[in-house]
Structure 1
């Protein structure tokens, strides 16, 4: 049973089984066709011999019985009231057919009138094959083959020229019981089963691999699993095990990196403080300023790298928060220190009220915008990403305008600067670690701000993109709305 869970073993077994079922179905189909063709040929041959028997008055072919009608039944036949003849199938559906010689050699033959009485159908005589040089015997053979085609038990009332009317039955020739069992429908069922086996195998295998691929695509979303499990094929289980091992190794490496950087940051704290104290004793103000700047840059770089690695590690516990409140709190912090940062909230909707008993003028009111944007995020990391974008907007564009767009699946936080000269292509090139623009020589920073923002957006199942805004550059953080 375990082997059947393997695409390599189980797939081969199922394919061979489907192939064998197809072979069996083909054999049944061909055998059934051969038996049916033999049945029709036998009925056609019996009809041709029957015509000669009616012409000569000889013995009928095997399986066909010819009997004369009694006087009362003969009278009804002469009057064309075939359905009233005793012993015919009820209800009586009558199909009249006449065979007349059509070529010179058979002009002396008598015409043959036939009434086919069935309880099931009137026979489509247009299906009886004819040609110019066809003999009457061949025509009657074509008629009896038509009778054998349908599952019915007809009775023939026939008259050859001036001879009396006779009753003809052919239970073992054209009746329903004489027809071979048609196994083509079961054969088609076997083919359907074979095709179903192959289609099911392909679809199930594809669905299992696609499901795991979707889980990998959702790996960075909030609340995603640290490892994966599957009850699918053995090959898929091997892939899942390899992916789990890879993710475990990557998490261990990131944790080690954070530990090392944290240790370096801690160990450098004391000598950096001593350096600052000693630098403060330097009488040369110009040299003192340069040394203090270098010390601050050194510690800032270490803290930036540590922040970036922590964002990669994804260590903060996710929480459900109001995104609007989070943005408002960050914007308020900037506004408290006089920074030109603005949060563009939705406009309030003005509604007109109804008339009252005491006032003829209609009143007006406002409805607050829909600001209940509840999302599951890592608020500290997301706040850091938004602060980095606001800092960039203030550095290069003098002011920052924050906006928010939302739909059922995602929330987009926008940060637009004003008057910056950086293009979209330039800013996208600066998203790599430690990349800085040529116009940043007089501006502080270490080249990790946008890299951290992009990493945090990815952790939240989203992206960081840029596009031209109304007055400057527009940054967009797209996060998955949980």
Structure 2
């Protein structure tokens, strides 16, 4: 029975398309047959109307002595005609047959006085139709017909059949496309999460052969990448640990120098070396290995950072709500915001921090009055070790990792960060942190 469930994506697609098209084809054929059947019944109805009207005209024009013989001549196996000098007996004005009477009169106006009703039925057979048409001299043409109680005929049966087939093809195509794209959407979502820095989450290796192969390849790829990043981070951490010993020895030896100016210069260089190592490790690790996401107050984080900067003598102000609860990693986000505020103070002479709270997201704007940056560099400055200031002096150029760490942290929270030059001068950094969705335990690694 393997042919009922092909392993390949192409085989399954073909099987579903064929099954769907066959089902809807049989449905359209059924509709067509219904239309043909209705057309046949319509023909019988027209024939009955013409039969009764012809009998009425011919028999009404004959003498009474000849009318009974003429009525027998108009009779057939399923349509008996008789002449009666008085109205036929029985219930001949049934409401259930009003539509049939109207259709017969419409097809033959000479039947304007037609009265019809049901007659007695033989065991196992349908009830016949009995009726009568009055003649001008008072006589009646009575008839008994079988199979004359007809339903309304569906119009445009062929068009309905074609429409049903087209609708079936559309529905089958939608089903196939949805079935095919479900594993692809799952793969795309996993790739997007992993691209944001999430820890590897193996995809289920099931479904058609092509999907299994793609999932298996993706799982192996993200495992290799994660292992490569982990090995690199571990190697750099080891180097950082080993560098601390010679740095401390150099610092100790610098303390014995008699030249105070040289001593200060060496200490500054050593501080810069330590800062670069720590910043690099912070960027590679994302500072997320030991911190889990939790509910925190974004407004309190910003107020703390602004107060600390103001206490240090910087012109930093905050404007916004007193409390904005949001799920995030407080230490990671605090470092990202601190980098942006420090950047505004260092290059713009101060910072104005604004926080806006909305049901879907929280938005942070950090403005300064500095010279701004070239439009072409608004995106490239987020790349690691990219600095507009060519100087390697930590007081001006920095390590080139502050904005990269900030973007890494914001993206890890599912948010966005953008830089723009203000029309009145200066730079504005805009962060948007969504309140919906979840943050994985490894999103920032």
TM-score norm. by structure 2 comes to: 0.73
Distance (whole Å) between structure 1 residues aligned to residue 410 and residue 316 of structure 2 = 21
Contact 1:115 1:156 in 2 (8 A): no
CA contact (8 A) 2:316 2:353 kept: yes
The equivalent position to 2:401 in structure 1, one of 423, 432, 448, is 448
SS in 2 for 1:115: coil
Return the offset for 1:97.
4.8
What RMSD in Å do the two structures reach over aligned CA positions?
4.2
Residue by residue over 1:265-288, the C-alpha shift from the partner in whole angstroms, topping out at 9 and shown as x without a partner, is 111111122223334445566665
In the TM superposition, what is the alpha-carbon distance from 1:296 to its structure 2 partner?
3.7
Aligned pair in 2 of structure 1 residues 255, 465: CA closer, same or farther (>3 Å)?
same
Match of 2:82 among 67, 78, 83: 67
- 1:21-32 map, 5 Å: 21-32=23-34
**In structure 1, how many angstroms separate the alpha carbons of the residues matched to 2:213 and 2:286?**
30
Map Cα deviations across residues 228-285 of structure 1 (whole Å, 9 max, x no partner). 5569844555544444433333322222122111110111111122223334445566
Q: 1:318 aligns with which of 269, 290, 293?
A: 293
Q: In the alignment, is the contact (CA less than 8 A) between 2:344 and 2:368 conserved in 1?
A: yes
In structure 2, relative to structure 1, the CA distance for the partners of 1:98 and 1:278 (3 Å cut) is: closer
1:88 matched to 2:103? The reply is no
User: How far does the alpha carbon of each residue in 1:341-392 deviate from its partner, in whole angstroms, 9 at most, with x for none?
Assistant: 222234xxxxxxxxxxxxxxxxxxxxxxxx3312222222111111111221
1:474 aligns with 428
Q: Is the 8 A contact 1:112 1:161 kept in 2?
A: no
How far 1:188 sits from its partner (Å)? Answer: 9.8
Note the C-alpha offset of 1:460: 1.1
Give the match for residue 373 of structure 2: 422
1:332 matched to 2:307? The reply is yes
> How many Å separate the matches in 1 of 2:407 and 2:92?
91
**Matched residue, 1:436:** 387
Q: Which residue of 1 aligns with 2:20?
A: 18
Q: State the alpha-carbon separation in 1 of the partners of residues 334 and 6 from structure 2.
A: 51
Shift of 1:396: 0.9
Contact preservation (8 Å) 1:46, 1:61: no
Distance 1:406 1:217 in 2: 27
Measure the CA separation in 2 of the matches of 1:88 and 1:410. Answer: 77
- Any idea what SS the aligned residue of 2:352 has? strand
Distance 1:432 1:372, change over 3 A: same
Distance 2:414 2:185 in 1: 19
Give the equivalent residue in structure 1 for 2:337: 386
Assess if the C-alpha contact under 8 Å between 1:21 and 1:190 holds in 2: no
Q: Structure 1 CA distance, aligned partners of 2:281 and 2:429?
A: 24
* Candidates 192, 198, 201, aligned match of 1:227: 201
Deviation of 1:306 (Å): 0.9
Deviation string, structure 1 residues 127-180 (Cα, Å, up to 9, x no partner): xxxxxxxxxxxxxxxxxxxxxxxx9975442356658321122224x2349x9x
1:109-128 → structure 2 map (5 Å cutoff): 114-118=112-116
Q: Provide the rounded CA distance (Å) in 2 between the counterparts of 1:435 and 1:97.
A: 93
Q: Distance in 2 between matches of 1:52 and 1:187?
A: 37
User: Shift of the alpha carbon at 1:189?
Assistant: 12
Correspondent of 1:259 among 199, 215, 234: 234
Query: Partner of 2:369: helix, strand, or coil?
Result: coil
Give unmatched runs, 5+ long, in structure 2: 60-69, 119-125, 437-445
- Seen in structure 2, the aligned counterparts of structure 1 residues 70 and 464 have a Cα distance that, compared at 3 Å, is same
Query: Is contact 2:372–2:421 with CA below 8 Å preserved after alignment?
Result: no
Give the Cα separation in 2 of the matches to 1:14 and 1:199: 11
Asked if structure 2 preserves the Cα contact closer than 8 Å seen for 1:114 and 1:156, the reply is no
Q: Which residue of the other structure, out of 413, 416, 422, is the alignment partner of 1:463? A: 416
* 237-246 vs 7-16, greater mean Cα deviation: 237-246
Contact (CA 8 Å) 1:220, 1:458: kept in 2 or not?
no
SS at structure 2 position matched to 1:445? coil
Q: Please state if 1:167 is matched with 2:121.
A: no
Counterpart for residue 355 of structure 1: none
> Residue 410 of structure 1 aligns with which residue?
361
User: Does structure 1 residue 276 correspond to structure 2 residue 251?
Assistant: yes
Q: Is the CA contact (8 Å cut-off) linking 2:45 and 2:150 kept in structure 1?
A: no
Q: Which range is displaced more, 377-386 or 15-24?
A: 15-24
Give, in whole Å, the separation in 1 of the partners of 2:135 and 2:115. Answer: 18
Structure 2 CA distance for partners of 1:387 and 1:152, relative to 1, 3 Å: farther
Q: Residue 345 of structure 1 contacts residue 403 of structure 1 at CA under 8 Å; is this kept in 2? A: yes
Matched, 1:304 2:305: no
Query: Are the aligned partners of 1:64 and 1:170 in contact in 2 as well (CA < 8 Å)?
Result: yes
Following superposition, the deviation at residue 450 of structure 1 comes to 0.9
Q: CA deviation at 1:52?
A: 5.3
SS at match of 1:434: coil
- Count of matched residue positions in the alignment of Structure 1 and Structure 2: 400
